[in-house]
Chains A and B, each alone.
Chain A
Amino acid sequence: MAVQVTDSNFEAEILKSNIPALVDFWAPWCGPCRAMGPVIDELAAEFEGKVRIAKMNVDENPATPSKYGIRAIPTIILFKNGEVVEQITGAVSKSSIKDMISQKALG
């Protein structure tokens, strides 16, 4: 299962992570976000130890989404050394996220 991050632990868990980190910004009322949920959980299992896969509920944590200018969900942001390296908006397939991770985070 992907770990849930919050505004308060975002810096420690994601920006200061010693491995690349992927955050899925979602909300419970968003259908495509619900559709993405199991995909994110499967990715968390597959990339365990290599990429930190996390979810952030934008309803409960308004500061971080606003800092990254998020105005649509689901939005997935890939971080490496605290920097944004790639961003995808909308529900996408597992294979396209895997491709993004291997090219931008592990490549």
Chain B
Amino acid sequence: MKEYDSLVIGGGPAGVTAALYLLRSGMTVAFTEMLSPGGQLLMTEEIENYPGFPKGIKGYELADLLAAHLEGYHYDKYMDTVKTIEHSPKGNKVLIGDEWVLARTIIICSGAKYKKLGLPNEERLIGRGISYCALCDGNFFRGQTVGVVGGGNSALEESLYLSKLVKKLHLIHRRDDFRATKCVQEKVCIIPDIDIIRSSVVTAIHGDDNLTGVTVKNTKTGDENFLALDGLFIFVGYEPVKEFYPAGLKTDNSGFIITDTEMVTNMPGIFAAGDCRSKNCRQVATAVGDGATAANSAFHYLETN
């Protein structure tokens, strides 16, 4: 069985930064990412708020640059998912794909994934009208009518992107006010092809082979209406990727890992960084900071244990 000072789980900004700092302090490192590095950066068209890129940068370009920063360092990369972590004070046995490894410390940077609405037909119609990525699938709905569900930054930014492609966009939001930042809201409100349906929720998804529409319910009046759609894009928030968390790891009610300000969890030798951590601000900038802090904590833990 291979043995490492540290195992970094996840190849988004937090994981890449943690790996970089560990490698630079001379630790032996294994790094797991089931896809290519970048995480949610790869789902983002433009990053406008990461310092150092005043003109903005494409999500995939930043992802490539992050990955390039690890070139030249020696570490083991596993392109697979972590299935189990067996924790003991002496170290951790971890099953990656079908291989067991030993890790004295673990930094969990597994990030978050989009939430589903949880309605019947949703799963079945993914790829048949339902999508969670405007950047990927917007092109298939050129000149058509689509719905967007949500009121946060993702929902509004993706609506802006989609509005350039589609004929008509219905933005369905359960509240009156949007959570998205002001500058994004202002852009959305002036586009005539975006029809904003406030205080409303999707209660049913319709379609046999392909999506045909949704039932929208006004939460104030209780009225329900059928809305014919070619596509439905769902952006109702994120949940942590947590299937492999070791038993006993302390999380908040939504499953995000609770740490102190040094990224230390309740389990000795296990640290967490980035979007999988319980916190309020989930940004590339905060993920990078978490990653560096977690690596520093892991380094000190290894020195003293």
A interface residues, tally (CB under 8 Å): 27
A39 contacts B231, C-beta separation under 8 Å: no
The one of B38, B44, B79, B136 in contact with A72, judged by C-beta atoms closer than 8 angstroms, is B136
Q: Which residues of B contact A87 (CB under 8 A)?
A: 127
B66 CB to closest chain A CB, in angstroms? 13
B131 at the A/B interface (Cβ < 8 Å)?
yes
B136 contacts A31, C-beta separation under 8 Å: yes
Q: Which residues of A contact B36 (CB under 8 A)?
A: 34-39
The one of A31, A72, A94 in contact with B97, judged by C-beta atoms closer than 8 angstroms, is A94
Q: Which residues of A contact B80 (CB under 8 A)?
A: 93-95
Q: Which residues of A contact B63 (CB under 8 A)?
A: 31, 34
Q: Which residues of A contact B197 (CB under 8 A)?
A: none
A-B interface contact total, Cβ < 8 Å: 90
Q: Which residues of A contact B135 (CB under 8 A)?
A: 29-31
Nearest-neighbor residue (CB-CB) of A91 within chain B: B35
Q: Which residues of A contact B59 (CB under 8 A)?
A: 31
The one of B38, B81, B127, B210 in contact with A35, judged by C-beta atoms closer than 8 angstroms, is B38
B192 CB to closest chain A CB, in angstroms? 26
A15 at the A/B interface (Cβ < 8 Å)?
no
CA gap between A96 and B245 in the complex, in Å? 19
Q: Which residues of A contact B79 (CB under 8 A)?
A: 38-39, 42, 94
A33 at the A/B interface (Cβ < 8 Å)?
yes
A27 at the A/B interface (Cβ < 8 Å)?
yes
Q: Give chain B interface residues in 23-50, CB to chain A under 8 Å.
A: 34-36, 38, 41-44
User: What per-residue 1/0 map shows which CB atoms of A37-51 lie under 8 Å from chain B?
Assistant: 111001000000000
A69 contacts B44, C-beta separation under 8 Å: no
| Residue from A27, A32, A42, A89 whose CB has the most chain B CB atoms within 10 Å | A32
Nearest-neighbor residue (CB-CB) of B37 within chain A: A35
B35 contacts A39, C-beta separation under 8 Å: yes
B129 at the A/B interface (Cβ < 8 Å)?
yes
A73 at the A/B interface (Cβ < 8 Å)?
yes
Nearest-neighbor residue (CB-CB) of A98 within chain B: B97
A32 contacts B43, C-beta separation under 8 Å: yes
A17 at the A/B interface (Cβ < 8 Å)?
no
Q: Which residues of A contact B42 (CB under 8 A)?
A: 31-32, 34-35
A105 at the A/B interface (Cβ < 8 Å)?
no
A73 contacts B60, C-beta separation under 8 Å: no
Besides A30-B136, A31-B136, 17 more A-B contacts (Cβ < 8 Å) are A29-B139, A31-B42, A31-B60, A32-B133, A34-B36, A34-B42, A35-B38, A71-B131, A72-B126, A72-B130, A72-B131, A90-B126, A90-B127, A90-B132, A93-B34, A93-B35, A95-B97
Q: Tell me the A residues contacting B by CB distance below 8 Å.
A: 27, 29-39, 42, 69-75, 87, 89-91, 93-95
Give 23 CB contacts A-B under 8 Å. Answer: A27-B139, A31-B38, A31-B59, A31-B60, A32-B42, A34-B36, A34-B60, A34-B63, A35-B38, A35-B42, A36-B36, A38-B36, A39-B35, A39-B79, A69-B209, A71-B127, A72-B127, A72-B131, A90-B127, A90-B132, A93-B34, A93-B35, A95-B98
